[in-house]
Structure 1
Amino acid sequence: MKAQLFTLRYLQNNMPQNTNVIIIDDSKEDCYLINKRLQTVGSTVNVVSFFSAQEAYNHIVSTSLDLSKKTAKNIIILDIYMPLMDGFEFLEEFEKLPLNIQNQYTICALTSSISKSNMEKITSYKSVKSFLEKPIKTESLLQLIEN
């Protein structure tokens, strides 16, 4: 327990000054829980949640020019299994964007369960840098923000 508390404090003290997190998950409860956990790590984390991958994609495209002028870290926490546009379809569209837009973001794939074939598929996308399973722990979010 002491080691976890030390790690949590260390990560909080060594976070980037400004971090933007986009949560893309059709579950309002999961978005709420992730948002609450992110808010506990400090005031330097700005969170925007989308329940639709298409809406999130449109937001990313429309704000990409503004982000290119800022030095904030931009993280996307992407649920894989969603109705309409799922995480795989989002990644297909995201990887068609110009590299200068793609490079502004770090994508973390998120799911409650995944098969071996889908795990191989999700890790084949070059834009996916990490993978988290639900429920997400605060320490995992801190490590995602720090790295």
Structure 2
Amino acid sequence: MVKNLLVIDDDNITGLLIKLSVTKHRFADQVTTLTNGKEGIMYFEKLVSHGEGPAPDLIFLDLTMPVMDGWDFLEDYSRRFEFLFPQTSICLLSAAVFPQQQRRASAYSSIVAFLSKPIRISEIEVLKKHESLKHHFAMPATVDYAVPSSIDYSSQSPAPARLAAY
């Protein structure tokens, strides 16, 4: 499970739906929502200068927002913070995904996906298998307990009388 997900989207309903979906489907543990790219940059500034807040493992970033859009956030983040948070991946969100946007997104190494809104559960499941994210969803190693194939109980003392009734 992604420990810390940062959602940057000006649509509060989209932010709420993402939060509900990712927690219900065990995709993310902690979800922080911000409403524009400038708030996202301020989040990272506080993280760097004061250690305030958790470093996100993944950012869901809307491209079209007031104040500072997703592209401007990406430019600033890539220049100032990406090298400090190499484990942070970014998933772009847009109501419409155009080929020129996908080409532009390919210039950023931290981008792992480009999804159209609303996000579907099937897309969340695909993200769980993405090379950059799958380690968050790896199942813990199972322990193989060896059970002896034959045990000689003849030398064991008989069960106490109170247990014999069961």
With the shorter chain as reference, the TM-score category is 0.7 to 0.9
Q: Residue 110 of structure 2 corresponds to which residue in structure 1?
A: 127
Alignment of 1:24-63 (within 5 A): 24-42=8-26, 45-63=29-47
SS in structure 2 opposite 1:109?
strand
Q: CA separation of 1:44/1:23 partners in 2, compared to 1, >3 Å: closer, same or farther? A: closer
Unpaired stretches in structure 1, ≥5 consecutive residues: 1-14
Q: In the TM superposition, what is the alpha-carbon distance from 1:100 to its structure 2 partner?
A: 3.8
SS in structure 1 opposite 2:84?
helix
How many residue pairs get aligned? The number is: 128
SS in structure 2 opposite 1:89?
helix
Unpaired stretches in structure 2, ≥5 consecutive residues: 135-166
Give the conservation status (yes or no) of the 8 Å contact 2:5–2:28.
no
Q: Please report the TM-score for the alignment, with normalisation by the length of structure 1.
A: 0.74
Q: Please report the TM-score for the alignment, with normalisation by the length of structure 2.
A: 0.67
- Which has a greater percent of helix? 1
Q: In the TM superposition, what is the alpha-carbon distance from 1:139 to its structure 2 partner?
A: 3.4
Give the conservation status (yes or no) of the 8 Å contact 1:21–1:77.
yes
Q: CA separation of 1:89/1:44 partners in 2, compared to 1, >3 Å: closer, same or farther? A: closer
Q: Residue 85 of structure 2 corresponds to which residue in structure 1?
A: 102
Q: CA separation of 1:61/1:38 partners in 2, compared to 1, >3 Å: closer, same or farther? A: same
Question: Greater CA deviation, 112-121 or 24-33?
Answer: 112-121
SS in structure 1 opposite 2:61?
strand
Give the conservation status (yes or no) of the 8 Å contact 1:94–1:102.
no
**Cα distance between partner residues in 2 of 1:54 and 1:99:** 16
After superposition, give the CA deviation of every residue in 1:1-46 in whole Å (9 maximum; x if it has no partner). xxxxxxxxxxxxxx4xx51000000111110100010110239610
Q: CA RMSD for the aligned pairs? A: 2.5
Q: Residue 57 of structure 2 corresponds to which residue in structure 1?
A: 74
Identity %: 26
The structure with higher relative contact order (CA 8 Å, sep 6+) is 1
